[in-house]
Amino acid sequence: MHTVERYQCAIHGGTPDRVPVAPSVLTRAIRRAGIRQYDFHTNPEVLAQAAIDHCEAYDFDGLYISSDNVIIYEALGGRIIFPNADSYPFWTDPLLTDAAGLAALSVPDPKTSGRMPVVIEASRLAAEQVGDRRFIISNIDSGPFQLASTLMGMDRAMTLLIDSPDEMKDILAFCRDVAIAYGLAMARTGCHGIQFGESTAGLLGRALYEEVVWPFDCQLIEALKPAGVAVVLHVCGDSTRIFDLMVASGADCLEIDTQVDLAWAKAHAGGKVALKGNVNTTSFLGAVEEFQAECRQTLLAGKPGGGFILSSGCETPADADDAILRAMRAVVEADGYYS
């Protein structure tokens, strides 16, 4: 079974020859390539090549195409800043304070707006160069609530969610439409999967998530799946309270963070959705032997029944040592086979 077949099988809930391994890598790829953050986030050739080189250096099954958390904010007219050429970009002022501000915004054209074309072209280049050798997941960054939080600021978004849920629904409907446009454009690049994050969803009470936010996540997923790509939903932190809703969202795969007990998640997923994760990101900075033992335990918890990809719980630290990455690959070679 070759790499793409293996990953395709696992992400759609099957049992491949062995567990795929694909930690989420962004800043570490930049560091390894010896390039500036600014060039990575603004030049599609640089972005694609850094991601490809990192993936192939460690013989991982999956390749991750992503940039930063202000891509959509910028495409909607927000002003971003790079404090220096080797720093991450940041947003400046909120674009929204309430639903009335939606009148000044429109769904951007992903082919021309901000740096959306940078990530889209990087995904296309990656698919062109290694799409038959590595499973490519391209990140459209934000789900509807995560995007709303970026456009408004987290404090304002949380306040509006609690005090005026109907008004928040109007904002989430717009954010859903923006994410759909970006996602469908990304799907046309030839990538195999699309990921988006509702990174703060785990912080919401279950009732608020279910009643206000979750329906828009489901609608986004439903709109993307006919494009022929696998859809991956990522939630940071402890998503246990909303895990059953994540399973029922329609996503093909859930990328879960370290705070979720993997054996528990595997049991509660019930084979309805694949799981990706969830090695502690801080462990990537520790001793190789201890890290490898943790990877092995994660693998043993996630492996039974298939539908599992060994990965980091969130982004792999930039300072992770080469030996750590090679140890992760070695674990699946030793203990990841099903036959």
pLDDT tens, position by position, 245-255: 999 999 999 99
- Is 17 in a helix, a strand, or coil? coil
Residue 125 and residue 71: Cα distance in Å, rounded? 19
Domain that includes residue 138, residue range: 3-335
Residue 148 has pLDDT above 90, yes or no: yes
Report the relative pairing of strands 253-256 and 62-65 from DSSP bridges.
unpaired
pLDDT, position 246? 97
What tens digit of pLDDT does each residue of 198-236 get? Answer: 988 888 889 999 999 999 999 999 999 999 999 999 999
What percent of the chain stands above pLDDT 90? 97
- Residue 326 CA to residue 25 CA, distance in Å, equals 14
Distance between CA 181 and CA 73 in Å, rounded? 14
The mean per-residue pLDDT over the stretch 45-56 comes to 98
pTM of the model: 0.96
Mean pLDDT of 329-339: 95
For residue 3, what pLDDT band results from cuts at 50, 70 and 90?
very high
Q: Two tokens at 39?
A: 């060039």
Question: Locate tokens 């201890």: which residue?
Answer: 290
Name the pLDDT band for 241 (thresholds 50, 70, 90). Answer: very high
Alpha-carbon distance 112 to 98, whole Å?
27
Distance CA 151, CA 162 (A): 17
Distance CA 220, CA 55 (A): 28
Please give the Cα distance from 28 to 208 (Å, whole number): 35
CATH number at residue 71: 3.20.20.210
Could you say which DSSP state residue 191 is in?
-
The mean per-residue pLDDT over the stretch 110-139 comes to 97
Q: Which two tokens stand for residue 89?
A: 């970009």
The string of DSSP letters for 67-111 reads --TTHHHHHTT--EE-SSTTS--EE-S-S-SSGGGGGG-----TT
Tokens coding 327: 């140890």
| Strand bridging mode 90-91 / 80-81 | antiparallel
Q: What is the pLDDT of residue 339?
A: 79
Answer positive or negative: Cα dihedral of 196, 76, 158, 180. negative
User: What is the reported pLDDT for 134?
Assistant: 97
Is the pLDDT score of 51 beyond 90?
yes
Number of folded domains that form the chain = 1
What is the pLDDT averaged over residues 182-205?
Answer: 94
pLDDT-derived band at 13 (thresholds 50, 70, 90) equals: very high
Distance CA 149, CA 155 (A): 8
Q: Which residues of 39-50 are buried (b: 16+ CB within 10 A; e: fewer)?
A: bbbebbebbbbb
pLDDT, tens only, 264-296: 999 999 999 999 999 999 999 999 999 999 999
Burial tier of 33 (Cβ tally within 10 Å: 0-12, 13-18, 19+)? middle
pLDDT at 200: 84
Cross-strand pairs, 195: 139, 232
- Per the CB < 8 A criterion, the answer to whether 74 and 123 are in contact is no
Amino acid 1: pLDDT: 87
- Please report the DSSP string for 262-328 in residue order: HHHHHHHHTTSSEEEEEE-GGGGGS-HHHHHHHHHHHHHHH-TTS-EEEEESSPPPTT--HHHHHHH
Residues 195 and 17: their CA atoms lie apart, in Å, by: 24
Q: Are the CB atoms for 20 and 338 separated by under 8 Å?
A: no
Coil, strand or helix at 138:
strand
Instruction: Report the distance separating Cα 92 and Cα 100, nearest Å.
Output: 20
| 241 burial level (CB within 10 Å; 0-12, 13-18, 19+) | middle
Which 3 state secondary structure label does DSSP give 50? helix
Look at residue 11 and give its three-state secondary structure.
Answer: helix
Assess whether pLDDT exceeds 90 at residue 161: yes
